[in-house]
Every structure is written in structure tokens, then in C-alpha cells.
Structure 1
Amino acid sequence: MARVTGIGGIFLRARDPKTLSAWYAKHLGLTLSEYGGATLLWTDEIPATTGMTIWSLFPEDTPYFGKGNEKGPQQAMVNYRVDNLDELLAQLAENIPIDPHREDSDYGRFAWITDPEGNRIELWQPLVAVEKKEEPPA
């Protein structure tokens, strides 16, 4: 059974992402990367070099979090790391709203679902680098 294996990211809406990022850096010690968010590496990552959690702020008018629900726009979105995106989506297909849009990038595959309260959830399957094995001399 495919499943969630960790939190890949926490994303928040902000009126002023740059200023709020600086506040988190100053008061909570987050080290900001060039893209403006923080990358929190895991010490027990499996497979190696794929374990991390991203923390990032988005503009308050971002469409990335979806349309929201009856309570208004969604203020935060969690990215869940999964072990097998296709299998998990197949498991969810009968009962869970699944966004038909998919994204493949150089760091993983993405899909989105909606929970029973209308919250958009991002699912991420990291890509695993395949090591080349050297052929023995003939």
C-alpha cells in the first residue's frame, strides 16, 4: 500500500512574503535560501539525499493553494512526501477529489487532492538518483 512518508513542505500565504520570511529568519532562526524559503534537511533520509522539508511563503493572492472553501481562501498547504504517487492516487481515486493536473520536475512528481473540508493537499514523490555501476573490464 502506498503511503505518506513525511512532510515535504509547509506553505503559507503572506501579505508581504519577503518581510515575513525575514521575520522567521530573525526570530525563529530559519536559514533562508536564494528562493526565499528554508530547506530543512532530515538526518535519517532514505534514500540518501532526498529527505528534506521545505518551508516557504507565497503571496496572499496565489492560486497555488486552490480556490479555498466556504470559509474563504486556504491560508496554508501541506506537501506530503509519498513513496509511490501513482499507486496512492489509484487508491484514492474512488473516494477522494483528485486534481487532474500533474507536474514532473527534476526533483520529483507532484499531484493534488482535496480533503473533506476543502483543503488542497500537495503530494510529492521525490526522484531518486540512480547510480551508474561501472562495467567490469572485459
Structure 2
Amino acid sequence: MAKVTGLGGVFYVVKDPASTRSWYRDVLGIDGEYGPQLNWSEETGDSPYSLISHFGDDAYIKPGAGGFMINLRVDDLDGFVAQLKARDVAVLDSVDEGYGKFAWLLDPDGVKIELWQQCAAPD
């Protein structure tokens, strides 16, 4: 039986696509021909996964714009946050939940970016 095997992408409208792509390349270090591209073959974590999560309100998404958020996996959250701060990128907050570490920032279009270091395999 055919099945869905993963997230294919996130697509949304911005005022200046070239500028937004440059920000993702320069600030987050991800680039690709059609926009930031993530290669899952580079993931080294234990039982890595992607998640599509649904919320009843936008409290978790705030102060992001557009009613959605992009979650990006990182291999070393503390190191990545230090890199962001060294570039004067505002980090909204960070937390360690045990199963994962999280930090948040906004892209140049106001979309909330959640950085996630998976620290435990899913149950």
C-alpha cells in the first residue's frame, strides 16, 4: 500500500522571495535551488521524525505572522543559538523539555521559526 513518507516542503507567499531566501542561507545556513533545502540523509539522530501538529488557537505561533510556524531540526541547539546571537539575530526564547531542546526566532517576514534538537527517540 502506498503511504506518505515525509514532509515535502513548506510553501508560503512573501514580499521579496530573493531576500527571504538570502536570510535563510545567511542566518540559518540552509540553501537550495528553489529555496532552503533540507536533506534528511544528513540527519544523525536516533529515530528522527518530522511532525505536523494542529493547534486550536495561535498562542504558540505568536508573535509569528500568518497562523503557522516552521520547525527546523538542529544538531546542537546551544551552539546554533550562540551562532545566531553572534550575528545579532534576536532569539525570542529557548527551553529544554527533556525530549528536546527548543529556541525561537522570526524570519524577515515575521514567520516564527522553531529550532529543535531532538534529545530522545519517540515513544
Which interval holds the TM-score relative to the shorter structure? 0.5 to 0.7
TM-score normalised over the length of structure 2: 0.56
Q: Partner of 2:107 in structure 1?
A: 115
> What secondary structure is seen at the aligned counterpart in 1 of 2:58?
coil
Q: How many residues align?
A: 83
Q: What do residues 47-66 of structure 1 show as CA deviations (whole Å, max 9, x unaligned)?
A: 332x100111112x321111
> What secondary structure is seen at the aligned counterpart in 2 of 1:123?
strand
Q: Distance in 2 between matches of 1:91 and 1:57?
A: 30
* Unpaired segments ≥5 residues, structure 1: 1-6, 11-41, 130-138
Q: Distance in 2 between matches of 1:117 and 1:97?
A: 14
4+ residue segments displaced more than 3 Å: 42-45
Give the residue type in structure 1 aligned to 2:44: I
Give the residue type in structure 1 aligned to 2:63: K
* Unpaired segments ≥5 residues, structure 2: 1-6, 11-39
TM-score normalised over the length of structure 1: 0.51
> What secondary structure is seen at the aligned counterpart in 1 of 2:78?
helix
- The structure-2 alpha-carbon separation of the partners of 1:45 and 1:117, relative to structure 1 and needing over 3 Å to count, comes to closer
- The structure-2 alpha-carbon separation of the partners of 1:126 and 1:91, relative to structure 1 and needing over 3 Å to count, comes to same
Q: Partner of 1:104 in structure 2?
A: 96
CA contact (8 A) 2:45 2:118 kept: no
Q: Relative to total residues, which structure has the larger helix share, 1 or 2?
A: 2
Counterpart pick for 2:44 among 46, 53, 59: 46
Is 1:78 the equivalent of 2:75? no
Q: Distance in 1 between matches of 2:77 and 2:95?
A: 11
Counterpart pick for 1:65 among 52, 61, 64: 61
Q: Relative to total residues, which structure has the larger strand share, 1 or 2?
A: 1
Q: Distance in 2 between matches of 1:105 and 1:54?
A: 16
